[in-house]
Amino acid sequence: MSKPYSRQTLVDYCLRALGAPVIEINVDDDQLGDRLDEALQFYQEYHSDAVIKRFRKYQLTAADITNQYITIPDTYLTISRVLPFNSNTGGTGDFNIEYQMMLNDMYDLAKPGSSMLNYSMTQQHLALIDHMFDGKDQTTRFNRHISRLYIETRWGTDLKENDIIVFEGYEAIVPKTSNHADTYGSGTDVAAPTEATSTKVYNDMFLKKYLTALIKRQWGVNIKKFDGMQLPGGVTMNGQQIYDEANEEILKIEEEVQLKYEMPPAFYVG
């Protein structure tokens, strides 16, 4: 059997892992689509393989200046910083202090026996000046549920229409919909960079294991009300046992991914 490459083939894989088609899995197609969306959401929020660090260039519009915020694509989970668009070390291009230091000192630094200590300390001092006087580190506010990036600056003065800024953030890898017809959910493509739409996500080992457990729990929920009912041949249904087993598996998988695969929190040290 080929590797899962789409929503439908991933769900079919999980159903086979639960015993289909030998055993009938009593879960509706809409429920399968919901559990797949739930598995993808957990995967994107907690698994380090589900996000990619990206720098994105953006040109400001008149609406951005009026609103005093930038609308960010829904695929971004967090924005860590905005690269500097202002510097208090003076000048730009050939007149920038850092550039002049590099131009005048690099030849001396390349000589045998030269010390980097003075150059390094001067660079740190300049960075401190920029930080103290609103230079290199722009204060930002971002919440992915409203998809707006607020930058604490003088809109219309420091930032003007047609200015270009670059922001750094972590973007969720959105699995691209295959050309094959999908049954489970809409599978609508999300506008995102090419490298962030790989169908390889559907073959992720964690995602397959987690979705199988979610479908198993849904199966247990659906048939719990028939507990004790005797089928032809003397077989008795036990939905509660299926539910309990699946719930235990889910808790174990979620604990494992948070211990082994979750990205460390961004601590601020100061």
Domain membership flag for residue 269: no
Same domain, 96 and 126: yes
Pick from 132, 154, 172: which residue ends a domain? 172
Same domain, 144 and 221: no
Same domain, 26 and 65: no
φ, ψ of residue 16 to 5 degrees: the values are -65, -35
Percent of the chain with pLDDT over 90: 43
Same domain, 57 and 168: yes
Same domain, 64 and 156: yes
Pick from 122, 148, 172: which residue ends a domain? 172
SS3 of 148, please?
strand
pLDDT bracket for residue 180 (50, 70, 90): very low
Q: Could you tell me the sign of the dihedral formed by the alpha carbons of 63, 53, 214, 5, in that order? A: positive
Same domain, 161 and 122: yes
* Number of other residues whose CB lies within 10 A of the CB of residue 106: 10
Domain residue limits at 71: 53-172
Same domain, 70 and 152: yes
* 4 close to 13: Cβ distance less than 8 angstroms: yes
**Would you state the pLDDT for residue 197?**
55
* Selected residue with higher pLDDT from 247 and 124: 247
Pick from 146, 172, 198: which residue ends a domain? 172
Domain membership flag for residue 188: yes
Same domain, 156 and 200: no
Which residues, at least 6 apart from 194, have a Cβ–Cβ distance to it below 8 Å? none
Looking at residues 204-212, what average pLDDT do you find? 95
**Torsion angle, alpha carbons of 145, 150, 156, 157, to 10:** -170
Domain membership flag for residue 268: no
Same domain, 140 and 57: yes
Domain membership flag for residue 163: yes
**Would you state the pLDDT for residue 121?**
81
The strands making up 140-143's β-sheet, listed across from edge to edge, are 70-71, 148-151, 140-143
> Is 147 exposed, middle or buried, given 0-12, 13-18 or 19+ CB atoms closer than 10 A?
middle
Same domain, 58 and 163: yes
Same domain, 145 and 195: no
Number of folded domains in the chain?
2
Encoded tokens for 17: 């892992």
pLDDT digits (tens, 9 = 90+) for 76-122: 999 988 886 654 444 445 556 666 666 666 666 667 766 777 777 87
SS3 of 170, please?
strand
Same domain, 200 and 186: yes
